[in-house]
Structure 1
């Protein structure tokens, strides 16, 4: 998307007056819709639509060997695919850099054991563990991808059911696992402290959240804040501009505040969601 100077000025003046182009205030989000358990061959899935941004997440599980330096932990991998239909910028290999950036940000945000305890994925110390593949597909890009992806990932992990290992047989170097086929024997992941990302954009002299595509073009700098509970798990600066230390502190404070609000709304939604049902929140 390209904007002329008159359009940029219009966006800047609206943000300054706390009345954005779509009628929101600086700390408001666009309407969201969340749907879970929609990919039949996945262990957990979710689809989140944030205005024109559409994200699909599917979680797959397989048995693997833990890392030698972390014998008590399972594994968690993120893979992001940018659909060429999401935006013309993704045609060819245009979305690869963004995909790697989002994947690295998620890996960094989930790295701490206080955020997501990988020890619960351990089957046999140093020998066998569960490995979770979190596949993220960007179906449509309407701005604010990091926030939408983090919410969809948390919902998909909440929806994920890990099979129960009934018995482990060890015969020399051979390890046989007896995994239950019953869905009633599965257990859900503990994602209460899983991080939520909030993108804070500096537009003019003000900070806004949930920027649309036009506002992202007018931003002089952006900070993505991943918040788990009341603590920041990672910080990522996007865009080409730089931020003054005072502005950076303002962005971090606002990010924590908004993340807690988002987390509350997400949990309220997950508690009432039913299979194959769209639920809108933050409208």
Structure 2
């Protein structure tokens, strides 16, 4: 379970949910391989009358919303900030990418602070392992090897997660925010004078950086359009027949009675064969080895549906109300 929520279901309730899944009819009417419709609002859209993006101080941002029946919902806010840093000596030609997760829902729950911190760290660890090396081209973030590179900080705030599938939702929000992030054009100002003559060699430690104010020269991080898509497959065990059921986009109730979950990052760029980039299992159950090919095959099959289900909102008029439902940042 990704957030600080801990549903307690009786054995009869778990049996009811699992038997329904066995009949391919889940609690909300979906079939086992159906994904709910999510809405993503990004900073590329005009979200207010004065034209400001969702988070004015961010280089890119996105908000993911899912409103289900009753009080269940998922609201996630993602902010991307970029700054110039000195690259590490071990990787002098690469920039840096950091993912940080905060769970407002867990912070306000009745669980202990230590338990909430463990849950937050677990979610952050899972997302980092699945996406950190598959999101953007770190070498493209380098400005001058050994001296200057971009540091990209991705901050994820879980405002509400009572609808379940937090890992998938966070990963899609991160992907959308980075796709709408603009990296400013930065050039060493001391290597070229007014006449266009070279002054200092590229890479000189004495080179100052000049920030281009023209936003048309800014670019999105290289590689983000080909970033992996994360699909979580929830495994339920049916004791009556000693069989396993595979679910996509599990609700919080289904997560509470699942055997385990497998988070799969799939590189499914157009024109190439889908590739498994990363895989992470969570939960206490021991996953049967022979079930793994079926799980990965389902994850690969679900990628096109996941892309269409996590859709970016196209109406800027509606975006303002969506973005400011719970949090007003202006």
Q: Provide the TM-score with structure 1 as the length reference.
A: 0.89
**Residue in 1 that maps onto 2:92:** 71
How far does the alpha carbon of each residue in 1:2-21 deviate from its partner, in whole angstroms, 9 at most, with x for none?
Answer: 11122111101110000000
Please tell me whether residue 244 in structure 1 is matched to residue 288 in structure 2. Answer: yes
**Does structure 1 conserve the Cα–Cα contact (< 8 Å) formed by 2:89 and 2:146?**
yes
In 1: Cα distance, 2:156 partner to 2:78 partner: 5
**Aligned equivalent of 1:42, options 55, 58, 63:** 58
Compared with structure 1, are the counterparts of its residues 161 and 91 closer, same or farther at alpha carbon in structure 2 (3 Å cutoff)? farther
Deviation of the 1:97 alpha carbon: 2.1
TM superposition outliers: structure 1 runs of 4+ over 6 Å = none
**Residue in 2 that maps onto 1:126:** 146
How many residue pairs get matched? 276
List aligned pairs for 1:137-152, cutoff 5 A.
Answer: 137-142=157-162, 143-152=164-173
**Aligned equivalent of 2:35, options 24, 29, 39:** 29
Deviation of the 1:261 alpha carbon: 2.6
The structure carrying a bigger strand percent of its residues is: 1
Deviation of the 1:217 alpha carbon: 0.9
Deviation of the 1:197 alpha carbon: 1.5
Deviation of the 1:209 alpha carbon: 0.8
Deviation of the 1:206 alpha carbon: 0.8
In 1: Cα distance, 2:42 partner to 2:114 partner: 29
**Does structure 2 conserve the Cα–Cα contact (< 8 Å) formed by 1:121 and 1:130?**
yes
In 2: Cα distance, 1:232 partner to 1:203 partner: 22
Compared with structure 1, are the counterparts of its residues 244 and 150 closer, same or farther at alpha carbon in structure 2 (3 Å cutoff)? same
Equivalent position SS for 2:226 = coil
**Does structure 1 conserve the Cα–Cα contact (< 8 Å) formed by 2:262 and 2:280?**
yes
List aligned pairs for 1:43-62, cutoff 5 A.
Answer: 43-51=59-67, 52-62=73-83
How far does the alpha carbon of each residue in 1:38-78 deviate from its partner, in whole angstroms, 9 at most, with x for none?
Answer: 11110000011234122110000000111222222111000
List aligned pairs for 1:1-283, cutoff 5 A.
Answer: 1-37=7-43, 38-51=54-67, 52-84=73-105, 88=109, 92-112=113-133, 116-142=136-162, 143-169=164-190, 173-190=205-222, 191-204=224-237, 205-229=244-268, 230-264=274-308, 266=310, 269-270=311-312, 273=314, 275=316, 277-278=318-319
Q: Provide the TM-score with structure 2 as the length reference.
A: 0.77
Equivalent position SS for 2:65 = strand
Consecutive unaligned residues of structure 1, counting only runs of 5 or more, are: none
**Does structure 2 conserve the Cα–Cα contact (< 8 Å) formed by 1:163 and 1:179?**
yes
Consecutive unaligned residues of structure 2, counting only runs of 5 or more, are: 1-6, 44-53, 68-72, 192-199, 238-243, 269-273, 323-330
Bigger shift: residues 183-192 or 197-206:
183-192
**Does structure 2 conserve the Cα–Cα contact (< 8 Å) formed by 1:79 and 1:135?**
yes
Deviation of the 1:199 alpha carbon: 1.2
Bigger shift: residues 27-36 or 131-140:
27-36
How far does the alpha carbon of each residue in 1:178-213 deviate from its partner, in whole angstroms, 9 at most, with x for none?
Answer: 001232221122412212211111113210011111
In 2: Cα distance, 1:89 partner to 1:252 partner: 36
Compared with structure 1, are the counterparts of its residues 259 and 96 closer, same or farther at alpha carbon in structure 2 (3 Å cutoff)? farther
CA RMSD of aligned residues (A): 2.4
Deviation of the 1:107 alpha carbon: 2.7
